């Protein structure tokens, strides 16, 4: 009987099915785990010393090898030549674990299985001894997503587990795991992998796959991976598919990831330092139009601002030559040129930096990335108009107001200074409402009575700043107290007395009112 050509074609297709680089280069032994020497040593030594704990928490950012290490640990425990810190990878147990069909390795995704019923099924499996291996290993991925009731259900078996059960909770957010569970497990941290190490690994993959790639391009990919080897490999693979058989250059990486050229970032930062709203927003519009990655631009702004702060403060003066090598000649020249053109002040740069690092929070809360980025740029370019306490005090001194600690100020003067302070901080609404308030000064306590609870909350947020301002400008330590003014209740005498009201003389009625 002749072979079916359709079946043969399907078989060839399955055999030639493409395997992603992240899966293809997934480590299969402890020696292959990259950049996690501490975690690997803990696991290997626990096997060598026969101090195998019943529960582990593998904590770390995505793509650092938590689940991979858990599978290799299961392989090391159940290898036919083990338990061994170096599983053979050739025995039946090792092969089945590699292929993902080992009966005594149970994996659960807590992202989609969060209920008590899911944990109950694990408990039912945990009471029976392993069918093939020495240990029954349970890997719960994204463990922080389990519900509280599910954790409580898991707690009992964590307290009194059978000798053959090993539980591994892999999580990117270990702080969300209840203390009652965390205290019964050994925590192993998987740290972010340095970009130099990731670049080395990417270079090895390129050599094995015959991918031509510039060293600068690999470094940029590693930087974009932000400590995750898996993310970095995925980025490399995407660019490889885009480029075909052509050599991958830094320019290719920038184009695909959406990295704005250094000159654009420098231009944006310069307009922010100069407080030029129009120019800054023009650059922001250009960035959005060309589809550049806004998060990446914020990171680049923060990085360059950091370099400027260190240069101006003199923190890097002794290591200037070394810094030129680290930053790169072109970037160093651009930063030096920016310093000469804009002449930024250290305090101004620090306030800009504080504004930059809040961008991701603003983006998360915004209804639109474009709106968030435009407002982010506008706010940064407006920072120079907000005066610091030092500048305010200097202006007061130059205006002829002498600050004397020995001279006591009246409550009217102190209250007036607070109103002026709010106006200088562009809090005109609070200042207007404050002027309508009543107040009293007693024993270094300035009590302000207000009608609106919202105004009290607004002033409470600035309470420490106002007290500091009073201390600096007036020379007295005054504690600010904010109280809601009690409303006088009017008594309806006529309603209370009813018909008897008419019997009273007018003078008596007036007195009752």
Domain 389-484, CATH homologous superfamily name and number: DnaA, N-terminal domain (3.30.300.180)
Tokens in use for 55?
A: 């529960």
The C-alpha atoms of residue 351 and residue 354 are separated, in whole angstroms, by 5
pLDDT in the model for residue 502: 54
List of the chain residues with pLDDT < 50: 1-2, 7, 9, 13-14, 318-319, 326, 401-407, 501, 504, 508-510, 512-513
pLDDT in the model for residue 13: 46
Contact 235, 225 (CB under 8 A): yes
Q: Is the domain covering 195-257 a CATH 1.10.8.60 domain? A: yes
Q: Treating both helix axes as pointing N-terminal to C-terminal, what angle do 229-243 and 250-257 enclose, rounded to 10 degrees?
A: 100
Q: Are strands 136-141 and 105-109 parallel, antiparallel or unpaired?
A: parallel
The model's pTM: 0.62
What is the DSSP-derived secondary structure letter of residue 194? P
* Helix-then-strand count for the chain, H and E: 27, 8
Q: Is the domain covering 21-190 a CATH 3.40.50.1980 domain? A: no
pLDDT in the model for residue 223: 83
pLDDT tens sequence across 147-203: 888 888 888 788 888 888 889 999 988 888 888 888 888 999 998 888 888 888 888
């Amino acid at each position: 009987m002749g072979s079916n050509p359709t079946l043969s074609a399907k078989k060839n297709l399955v055999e030639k099915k493409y395997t992603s680089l992240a899966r293809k280069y997934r480590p299969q032994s402890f020696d292959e785990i990259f950049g996690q020497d501490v975690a690997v040593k803990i696991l290997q030594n626990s096997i060598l010393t026969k101090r195998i704990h019943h529960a582990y928490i593998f904590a770390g950012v995505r793509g650092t090898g938590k689940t991979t290490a858990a599978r290799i640990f299961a392989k090391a425990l159940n290898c036919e030549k083990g338990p061994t810190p170096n599983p053979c990878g050739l025995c039946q147990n090792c092969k089945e674990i590699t292929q993902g069909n080992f009966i005594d390795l149970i994996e659960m995704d807590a992202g989609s299985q969060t209920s008590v019923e899911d944990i109950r099924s694990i408990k039912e499996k945990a009471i029976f001894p392993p069918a093939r291996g020495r240990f029954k290993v349970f890997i719960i991925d994204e463990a922080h997503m389990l519900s509280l009731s599910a954790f409580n259900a898991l707690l009992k078996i964590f307290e009194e587990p059978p000798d053959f059960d090993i539980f591994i909770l892999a999580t990117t957010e270990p702080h969300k795991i209840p203390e009652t569970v965390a205290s019964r497990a050994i925590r192993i941290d998987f740290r972010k992998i340095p970009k130099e190490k990731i670049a080395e690994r990417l270079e090895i993959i390129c050599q094995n796959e015959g991918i031509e790639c510039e060293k600068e391009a690999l470094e940029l990919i590693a930087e974009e991976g932000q400590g995750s080897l898996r993310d970095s490999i995925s980025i490399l693979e995407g660019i490889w598919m885009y480029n075909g058989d052509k050599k991958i250059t830094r320019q290719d990486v920038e184009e695909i990831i959406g990295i704005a050229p250094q000159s654009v970032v420098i231009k944006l930062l310069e307009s922010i330092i100069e407080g030029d709203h129009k120019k800054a927003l023009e650059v922001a519009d250009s960035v959005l139009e060309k589809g550049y990655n806004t998060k990446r631009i914020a990171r680049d702004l923060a990085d360059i601002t950091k370099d400027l702060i260190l240069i101006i403060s003199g923190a890097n003066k002794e290591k200037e030559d070394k810094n030129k090598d680290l930053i790169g000649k072109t970037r160093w020249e651009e930063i030096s040129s920016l310093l000469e053109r804009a002449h930024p002040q250290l305090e101004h740069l620090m306030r800009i930096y504080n504004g930059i690092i809040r961008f991701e929070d603003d983006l998360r809360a915004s209804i639109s990335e474009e709106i968030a980025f435009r407002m982010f740029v506008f706010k940064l370019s407006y920072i120079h108009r907000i005066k610091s306490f030092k500048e305010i005090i200097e202006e007061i001194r130059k205006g002829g107001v002498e600050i004397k600690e020995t001279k006591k100020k009246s409550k009217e003067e102190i209250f007036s200074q607070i109103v002026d302070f709010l106006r200088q901080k562009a809090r005109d609404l609070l200042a207007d409402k404050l002027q309508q308030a009543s107040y009293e000064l007693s024993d270094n306590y300035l009590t302000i009575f207000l009608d609106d609870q919202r105004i009290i909350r607004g002033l409470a947020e600035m309470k420490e700043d106002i007290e500091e301002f009073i201390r600096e400008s007036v020379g007295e330590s005054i504690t600010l107290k904010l109280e809601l003014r009690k409303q006088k209740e009017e008594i309806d005498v006529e309603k209370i007395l009813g018909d008897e009201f008419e019997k009273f003389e007018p003078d008596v009625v007036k007195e009752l009112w």
